[in-house]
A and B are shown apart, each in its own frame.
Chain A
């Protein structure tokens, strides 16, 4: 690597672009994850089958996982570093903070670091809830219909049982709204950072970003919501 390239890697812009690219990867992952989640509506076979296929080639799975972990860590660490730098760049604070921007979603922009951190903490809960917990154990047992003995429904059962606890469903839905907020700014932000400047596309991208953020929030929330409304799995 040339010294110029090393220098560029330390630059504010390239680091922002790294955040954007990792953000894009994570957004892609979320899209896949959401699509997978929707299989829950098709019943345990579809959902568990999808889960098993994902685990069919452990090497590939781990490769993807490592990639995602790396993207996630890079995304988080770079952002934290940039945020700390940005705090310093102001120097003395303003006595009055104002804004001239007439955009409606200033809140999403201002809270990116907090919504991001919240998602990070949520991830610990989420991984311990599902990824790392026993998918064939008692937590997966579901009594489908009146009088039927409980069956082990694998991951499907685990998810169902977990979300039957209202506090958990509540936490998940709340965090998914936050995630949606994060994405609503994040998607258009990464387009800007990666250099899309066409006048005819930019307003569209900004709207699309909002819509996608909203869709993600609704989509991810739909599962716990559905489970809590239905209470018993439609088997």
Chain B
């Protein structure tokens, strides 16, 4: 039969971005350890709803670890204790019977809380809008094989492009910095010949936007890499630093 455990949840509740928030305590009884963390929240929510209370709001979409929607701090760890995992892929079996879990939203000035565990990550979209693309019109693309790309570069570009934009890097960074997110996009495009044409412009524009959004500065703690569900390397930050310096030198 399935194992079950009891958990105490201390969850951040906040009605909207401009109202104050506070922790509330809920008991999660007889939780099947095969449930995912979000399914455990579903169970808690059904009970809340039946007792006339509003369920805990949390962002979620694909529930298979690729959309980047979900995320919360569990006992101060982004996406919970397991490495390389999003919250939706974290399972209750990773906790022990009787554990108390403090569940908080991502905290960053650039990610205001929308409700409970939901934050506004549109700053990431605005950073991409600033330059995280190749300027190519639909229909104007040349034949795909006209430009060979070394396999090693393509593979590395993929590693960077695997970013799901969940924001765990910002949440985990002691400075709430977004450089891993920006570095991953900059690296992805700088590694491919298609992206090199506008690399200076891109680096300048994206960094400028990042600063404007109110993220902190990188001081090389590498907490972002440890928290990243896609295990994106801090090398991407080093490459961003170089790309940015290159853009500065080239004027």
**Chain A contacts to B: CB under 8 angstroms:** 2, 4-5, 7-8, 10-17, 82, 85-86, 88-103, 106, 109-110, 112, 185, 188-189, 191-197, 199, 202
Contacts and interface: CB of A to CB of B under 8 A. Distances in A.
Contacts of B139: none
A3 to B, nearest CB: 11
Given A86-B176, A89-B175, A99-B226, A94 B107 contact: yes
Nearest to B156: A199
B76 A110 contact: no
B223 interface: yes
SS class, residues of chain B in contact with chain A: mixed
Given A8-B247, A100-B78, A101-B222, 15 more contacts: A8-B248, A12-B177, A12-B207, A13-B217, A15-B217, A88-B109, A89-B108, A98-B75, A99-B77, A101-B221, A102-B226, A192-B220, A192-B237, A196-B238, A199-B235
Contact of A109 (B10, B176, B220, B238): B220
Interface string B204-234: 1001101100111111111101110000001
B126 interface: no
8 contacts: A90-B107, A98-B75, A99-B226, A100-B81, A102-B226, A109-B219, A188-B220, A197-B239
Contacts of A91: 107-109, 112, 176
Contacts of B175: 86, 89-90
A114 to B, nearest CB: 13
A88 B73 CA distance: 19
Contacts of A17: 241, 245
A5 B172 CA distance: 31
Contacts, number: 162
A4 B251 contact: yes
Nearest to B105: A92
B226 A101 contact: yes
A194 to B, nearest CB: 7
Interface centre among A8, A10, A100, A112 (most CB of B within 10 A): A100
A111 to B, nearest CB: 11
B155 to A, nearest CB: 12
Nearest to A202: B235
Contacts of B243: 195
A90 B104 CA distance: 13
Nearest to A193: B241
A32 B67 CA distance: 53
A12 B226 CA distance: 22
Contacts of B110: 89
A51 B28 CA distance: 72
Nearest to A90: B176
B133 interface: no
Interface centre among A11, A189, A194, A196 (most CB of B within 10 A): A11
A10 B223 CA distance: 25
A96 B235 contact: no
B107 A93 contact: yes
A167 B110 CA distance: 48
B102 interface: yes
Interface string B158-195: 00000000000000101111010000000000000000
A102 to B, nearest CB: 7
A106 B240 CA distance: 23
A82 B176 CA distance: 12
A202 B208 CA distance: 27
Nearest to A103: B222
B222 A94 contact: no
Interface string B38-63: 00000000000000000000000000
B196 interface: no
B204 A8 contact: yes
